[in-house]
Chain A
């Protein structure tokens, strides 16, 4: 697991059934591109988050494939429909096999 990885998501606490909400998600990750050279002159191996997913009660909202051209501390903003009360599940997949997960509950207003 890469060091100092911390996810941060912003989801409204409440919504009415059928509402469209905006979700923002950020994770601290260096997103080493594999293009940079280190002090010793050798290429620093690629180490990135390669996939980000957001689902609601298990149903897909967005599934993103990331390449090394995504900036350090990857940020995403997108919309989601809230059909009912439940839970948003977020997952970030690291090149090293680690999966960083976080969840946010949403109530019916």
Chain B
């Protein structure tokens, strides 16, 4: 048993819903109690879908238990087929139905339906949403895809995009465009937009573009083995990764890399002098493994940031992310415990967070700007405009998105010069979006409902309270700030003040200095100057 406050991923059957909802002419019969239908609103509200997800819930109640839940399931299957006439159905159980062991898959197979029925085994008490996507798509592909004659022209399948995916809709368009520029056509896109019938033609492509390993890696590996389809290993997020991806496509197809550079703006925007202020910005990255690995490369190599911490919530990507972290000289935070992530961010004291909607909240609380790079998604992650993450346009979008929360170049200097100015005080936040300025860190942590003292993280190995007061007290010396030094410290911009404070205290401790005065502060500054 594990206490959870907020979760990064839903249960695995929500993953199966993401596959079913992304596809057309597929129906999902889910053995589940009333209440599990809440998942419909993820799609109709967050993604603003104009159709109900193609899911029939059996809606069993307490009084049905032990008697006719199995009959309920059969009736639901028959009614769903009669009403929706899908090309194929997937059947499975949610967490509660898993416990009553009705075996929906077995029952459905004996019902003699005139369409393919694909049973799903999604262990709700072990696995999560991404696994649910990956496993569902894999089972569908395994059941439906057969060796077929290759298309005459060179084509690829784009696999991985689902409903409720982070920018999947626009990534499809962007990747399709890059492939077209190289002379590669698209055979099937799936799950998003595909029918079960389309999945039978997957083998006609010459290779697979694995867009999101989280949702389609098992299917990609199966198709490689069974249908002889190689798949791309590079996820084209960022300029460098997109170029590597195009090289990879070239290697697979034998076609030369051809691409329209004129629409790519990130390199020049990043090189232009206005971007100098981005140099060495300390960023913390958290999200799903694929997006974090890609963002780390962009952050360091294309934006000139310093990566001070990174991690992911999906354990399936733990090994990959640990490897990336090693490359960046940081410790990987692999956890789905929101409070642990918060503690890690607080300890790293970054100037910006590149995270999920969850980290956006952490950022607000800590007064650190945040840009969103990964699911879990929020209604804001489905913008009306074209906003991919992949390819050249994706790189342009990422440049804008990441720069937006920051204080701009000259503005930063003005803040520094006129610290006491009534408009330009350091708690004003970036002038271009006052309403979204990070909340200044309150002197006392805000108490929810006014009653609760802010608790330490439940399962976190770190103790927040010793982090906040620790540096001054640890090491055997009680370090005191003299008033003048403290006043001077306040003149340092708030987003680097925490770091300056810690560095100065560490500097003082190393030298056995118990009282910090203005000179100590500047000596420490000189010592740590890069």
Q: Is A bound to B?
A: no
Residues of A within 8 A of B (CB): none
Residues of B within 8 A of A (CB): none
